């Protein structure tokens, strides 16, 4: 079984756009034609399992991605390349694991989700020397 792990920094309620890679036995050629029914998903927030569902993301735009759902589909025109999208709703450590059991492969992706930075605004103090 092979595993791929990597991490990213993202913002709360930002649609995360990522890719998952699954390879044939030779470790080089990609597996084409997988659907969301061919993989299993686990989602963790701060090391606590989340009851998020896995759905076909082929007809879902980035703006339609909602919290509580992982969207998975093969990228049109790029056989063997898979899109993974989701919208984390809290700051902290997130992990998404996709398991392609038939191919004995796991893709684990980590995300550090940060709050939006505070907006500077209001009055600014200014002192002049006389």
**What domains can be seen in the chain, in order of their start residue?**
2-114 (2.60.40.10)
**Residue 106: beta bridge partners?**
3, 99
Full-model pTM: 0.83
Q: Binning pLDDT at 50, 70 and 90, where does residue 122 land?
A: low
Instruction: Give the pLDDT confidence score for residue 59 in this predicted structure.
Output: 94
Strand order from edge to edge, sheet including 53-56: 16-21, 81-86, 69-74, 53-56
For the cut 60, the answer to whether the pLDDT of residue 124 exceeds it is: no
- Residue-averaged pLDDT of the chain: 89
> What sign does the dihedral 68-69-70-75 (CA atoms) show?
negative
Q: Render pLDDT for 51-93 as a digit per residue (tens, 0 to 9).
A: 999 999 999 999 999 999 999 999 999 999 999 999 999 999 9
**Residue 44: beta bridge partners?**
49, 95
């Amino acid at each position: 079984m092979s595993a791929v792990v990597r991490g990213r920094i993202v913002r709360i309620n930002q649609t995360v756009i990522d890719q998952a890679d699954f390879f044939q036995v030779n470790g080089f050629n990609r597996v084409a034609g997988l659907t969301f029914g061919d993989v299993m998903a686990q989602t963790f927030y701060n090391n606590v399992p989340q009851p998020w569902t896995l759905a076909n993301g082929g007809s879902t735009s980035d703006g339609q991605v909602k919290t509580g759902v992982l969207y998975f589909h093969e990228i049109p025109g790029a056989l063997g390349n898979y899109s993974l999208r989701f919208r984390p709703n809290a700051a902290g450590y997130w992990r998404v694991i996709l398991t392609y059991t038939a191919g004995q492969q796991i893709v684990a992706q980590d995300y550090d989700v940060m709050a939006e930075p505070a907006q500077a605004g209001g009055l600014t103090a200014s002192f002049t020397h006389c």
